Amino acid sequence: MSYETILEQIKAVPEECLDEIAEMITFILYRYEQRISDVAVERSMDKYFGTIDLGDGLELQRKMRSEWD
């Protein structure tokens, strides 16, 4: 959906509803910024700690369990 289409739809809404629409847009922007910051944190942690592939993780668990036995 394009910005022009959204703007036309908003213009068709009665003025009493504009406060509710503004709150919804604020919430959507908040969630978008939160998602971007979560991805940035996840990427920065990968940089320092690396990632473990599922197969590598299972092998690591097996080694640890055999050490405990």
Compute the distance between CA of residue 10 and CA of residue 13 in angstroms, rounded to an integer: 5
pLDDT at 33: 86
pLDDT at 8: 93
Q: Give residues with Cβ within 8 angstroms of 21, minimum separation 6.
A: 10, 13
Decide if pLDDT at 13 tops 80: yes
Decide if pLDDT at 45 tops 60: no
Tokens of 7: 């703007």
Compute the distance between CA of residue 69 and CA of residue 61 in angstroms, rounded to an integer: 13
